[in-house]
Amino acid sequence: MAFDFKKEYKEMYMPKKTPSIIEIPKMNYLAVRGNGDPNQEDGEYQKSIELLYAVAYTIRMSYKGTYKIKGFFEYVVPPLEGFWWQENVKGMDYHQKNDLCFISIIRLPDFVKKEDFEWAMEEATRKKKKDFSKVEFLTYEEGTCVQCMHIGSYDDEPATVKLMHEYAYAQGYELDINDERFHHEIYISDPRKGDKSKLKTVIRHPVKKIEEDS
């Protein structure tokens, strides 16, 4: 049976509908950066997803070809994720989607090294006859975060975020979103399918311990 990150790391991908504090280790990702309204048809965000999945599945299916990745085992491609922010905006303004900046990401298994990524880029380019130069190999350590499973439309996220922040503060943490730590979403459900009111999205925000006055 193929290794499924969602099942093996439930604390990261299937958290409860109540907030919790979690420590996220350093991981490698496929990543594409861009900006603009994620709902725009044929916009930068939609194109980023196409690029990511093409490279992700090139790596996933590599065992069927001549290129062999050391330590490879069959796995389910992890869910799409995204880091989001808006320049000069504290928090998120859900009404100004055109101003959104993003890094779309898909987690890579630990056995995938930089040279394997470079092979996959060349292979995807050869097969798809497309420019994959925007895809990068990103190593990122998210650190201490508060997270929660959000059920419903993306536009309804503020209520869940409010609960997360209140919980974090009660546990002695404060929000730590900055130029290197972002609003993070993990898309467990496909927004193109099913009822929007039942969408499952992991929301994760970086936090740090509140420093007590000396």
Name 206's Cβ contacts closer than 8 Å, sequence gap at least 6.
Answer: 142, 143, 144, 145, 175, 176, 177, 178, 181, 182, 184
The pLDDT tens digits of the residues spanning 138-180 come to: 999 999 999 999 999 999 999 999 999 999 999 999 999 999 9
Tokens of 200: 């499952």
The pLDDT tens digits of the residues spanning 56-98 come to: 999 999 999 999 999 999 999 999 999 999 998 877 788 889 9
Is the pLDDT reported for residue 184 higher than 60? yes
pTM: 0.95
Q: Do 109 and 81 meet the contact criterion of CB atoms below 8 Å apart?
A: no
Q: What residues does 150 pair with on adjacent strands?
A: 201
**Of 39 and 192, more confident:** 39
Long-range contacts of 116-120 (CB under 8 A, 24+ apart): 116/59, 116/62, 116/69, 117/30, 117/55, 117/59, 119/62, 119/67, 120/55, 120/58, 120/59, 120/62
Please report, rounded to a whole number, the percentage of residues in the chain having pLDDT higher than 90: 89
Please report, rounded to a whole number, the percentage of residues in the chain having pLDDT higher than 70: 99
pLDDT, position 191: 80
Q: Do 208 and 169 meet the contact criterion of CB atoms below 8 Å apart?
A: no
